[in-house]
Amino acid sequence: MKYNRCGRSGLLLPEISLGLWHNFGSVDNFENAESIAVEAFDKGITHFDLANNYGPVPGSAEENFGKILWHNFQGNLRDEIVISTKAGYTMWNGPYGDWGSRKYLLSSLDQSLKRMSIDYVDIFYSHRPDPETPIEETMMALDHAVRSGKALYVGISNYSAEQTRVAVEVLKQLGTPCLIHQAKYSMLERWVENGLLDVLEEKGVGCIAFSPLAQGLLTDKYLKGIPENSRAHNPNGHLKEDEVTQERIQKLIQLNEIAQNRNQSLAQMALAWLQKDKRITSVLIGASSVKQLCNNIDCLQNTEFSNDELNAIEEILT
């Protein structure tokens, strides 16, 4: 595992980080989740990413991760891992459990620390911009989280390029630099290339890509349509059936041919493709099993692309 500097900061993050969005909630098998987290650490993944509402039920991923910490990462091992969490999406009922107010963010951080039974997180994010709350208030809450000792660094997620520019400037004036932006980025979701990555490079802010496999689309699972046990087949899933079009399946088939010629799975190639841009500090993966985790980490065995490969991929995607 290689560790990349996060923007212009002192923090290094692994090329691959583990996200706990799925498979770590109260409805999931705890022993499986624990095995995934321990194997990830043993493979060199030092960064574990959460949010207040991860589950289901909301909050249960943090509770389970707290148990995993207690069972496996006592003592100085806490100093060898980076834990991040976020607030910004709906967490509890009423007017104070959503969006970006100072009250919500700081209350949520207190609850997250309690659920995980830790004194601080390494990174605390504003999970999404709030169209009603002044961005200065949201950034002041992040600044306070650091000054109170409850977070070492702060970041933002799902902010546009222009919103990011403003947020970074406000945090700089407050004296708490913006460490990182967590953005949705994959072969099939490339909005960050239209200005955001340029802003992050200019301002010295790191970038971590989430949903790098487009909710499983960039795997061999959908090459023959929508299987019964897939996220697209689940009516409660984030990937919808109408996103798995015949046109998209044809693109996946062509991409898979390139991956096979590289001796990689489609998923491994999709993860490696993100690594080609040096502005990407880390790629955030999920895993439902230790086997899947290890298969994804193996993408690091081949992260170099020839110009012919890059051109062929671009032709397929455009």
Q: Are 69 and 78 in contact (CB under 8 A)?
A: yes
What local confidence, expressed as pLDDT, does residue 222 receive? 74
Would you put residue 230 in left (φ > 0), alpha (ψ -120 to 50) or beta?
A: beta
User: Could you tell me the mean pLDDT of each successive run of 10 residues in the chain, 318 residues long?
Assistant: 98 98 97 98 98 97 98 95 98 97 98 98 98 98 98 98 98 98 97 98 98 92 66 52 77 95 97 96 97 97 96 95
List, in sequence order, every residue forming a beta bridge with 47; answer none if it has no partner.
82
In the chain, DSSP assigns E strands to 3-5, 12-14, 16-19, 47-49, 82-87, 121-126, 151-157, 178-184, 206-210, 282-285
291 CB contacts (<8 Å, ≥6 apart)? none
pLDDT at 229: 58
Cβ atoms 281, 208 nearer than 8 A: yes
CA distance 28 to 227: 21
Q: What is the pLDDT of residue 87?
A: 98
Residue 296: which of 224, 231, 212, 214 has the closest Cα? 212
- CB proximity list for 205: less than 8 A, separation 6 or greater: 7, 164, 168, 178, 179, 180, 181, 199
Q: Which residue shows structure tokens 């595992």?
A: 1
What tokens does 123 get? 């990174």
Q: Please tell me whether the peptide bond between 57 and the residue prior to it is cis, using omega within 30 degrees of 0.
A: yes
Which distant-in-sequence residues (6+ apart) come within 8 Å of 179 by Cβ? 6, 7, 9, 11, 123, 153, 154, 155, 205, 206
Paired tokens of 154: 């702060």
